[in-house]
Chain A
Amino acid sequence: MRLRPLDERGLTLTEVAIVGVIGVLVLLGLGGFYLNSQATWLDASSQSVTQREATLVLEAIADSVRTGASAIATPLPDADHGQLELYRVDGTSSWGFWWDPTDSLVHNGPDPADDRGALLESPVERFRVEYSHPLVRVSLLLRSPTGSRIEMATTTLLRNRTP
């Protein structure tokens, strides 16, 4: 008869299997948490960048509007996208903002033929401009890289208008 040693140590196959299953569950939980956190982080940071872009665009437009005397707002190419042309007191064109369908961004410049580039990087789903003398209303709807939509609007007074 063969005797088993009294001080036999180590792990049985069942113990190893249980530890393995628990380890896999823990890894899955941590991995899920990590992926979820990363997705949340990306979504939040891209959304905040898009919010800042919307604020920047509206402030840039508002600054130009305040220096203007008159404006023309044209829905172009459709009702949700437009073009804003600003004029000085002497009637000459001062600056303009328009939605470019080639890149879905808001561009600016003296006029569309002299494009000074896009004001932002996030795609613009709506750029609506309305003019009711002497107020100019601009409404923006941007899409962040992760798909969140940011909506902002403001109204600005033409300060250099002739009475």
Chain B
Amino acid sequence: MIGSGAHRPPLAARAVRAGRPCADEGGFSLIEALIATIIAVLAVLGLAYTFSVGRGQVNRFEVARAAMGEAETQMERLTLLADSSPFSDSLAVGYVSPDFAFTYRGATLGTVGWRMEGYDDPDLPQDPDLRRLVVYVRWNIVTSDSVQFQQLLPLATP
């Protein structure tokens, strides 16, 4: 705005003529502008961070769903093995399998494995009464993650 001193209050006009700073000068100081800018930048950065975190979670769950499918597959295969060969060494209590590769879209992302534990049902006299088959898929993208399935099987006694 281009203006003249016609509408300036007499006090301010006198202060300007006397070379003194005007008491009712309006506007923002440099410090205020800087603080406002920093707050705005922080707000925008926070917003951007939430978007990137959300996007990362979607990708994380994409791999987790694939891992779940892999764990289900392994569990079904081992259940079939438990039906057909209940005394298989791979299903003996205490057995821990070697790690196999977990691949997704052609890339190896982690490992698949299983272990067999004894399971004690407190309401049954034996200890252990059952076998607990634990199938796990572990992968590491940015952070370590895993999916684990468990299933109880009858105790194999020859």
Cβ–Cβ contact A6 & B69, under 8 A: no
A58 touches B (CB below 8 Å):
yes
Do most interface residues of chain B lie in helix, strand or loop, or is the interface mixed? helix
Interface string of A129-154 (1 = CB under 8 A from B): 00000110100000000000011111
Report how far A157 CA is from B17 CA in the complex, Å. 95
Cβ–Cβ contact B80 & A134, under 8 A: yes
Given known A-B contacts A37-B47, A135-B76, A152 and B3 have beta carbons under 8 A apart: no
Count of residues in A whose CB is under 8 Å from the partner chain: 32
A44 touches B (CB below 8 Å):
yes
Who on chain B is nearest to A10 by CB?
A: B2
- Set of chain B residues within 8 Å of A62, measured between Cβ atoms: 72
Given known A-B contacts A10-B3, A157-B76, A152 and B66 have beta carbons under 8 A apart: yes
Report how far A155 CA is from B80 CA in the complex, Å. 11
Report how far A135 CA is from B8 CA in the complex, Å. 90
Report how far A9 CA is from B12 CA in the complex, Å. 12
Who on chain B is nearest to A55 by CB?
A: B65
Partner of A155, one of B4, B16, B66, B73: B73
Cβ–Cβ contact B58 & A153, under 8 A: no
Report how far A128 CA is from B16 CA in the complex, Å. 85
Cβ–Cβ contact A51 & B65, under 8 A: yes
Cβ–Cβ contact A41 & B51, under 8 A: yes
Cβ–Cβ contact A8 & B4, under 8 A: yes
Cβ–Cβ contact A150 & B62, under 8 A: yes
- Set of chain A residues within 8 Å of B80, measured between Cβ atoms: 134-135, 157
Minimum CB–CB distance from B1 to chain A (whole Å) comes to: 5
A-B contact sample (9 more), CB < 8 A, given A9-B5, A40-B55: A7-B13, A11-B2, A40-B51, A48-B58, A135-B77, A151-B104, A154-B73, A155-B72, A156-B72
A-B pairs with beta carbons under 8 Å apart, 19 shown: A6-B5, A7-B4, A7-B8, A7-B16, A8-B4, A9-B2, A11-B1, A33-B48, A40-B54, A43-B55, A54-B65, A55-B68, A135-B77, A135-B80, A154-B72, A155-B72, A156-B72, A157-B79, A157-B80
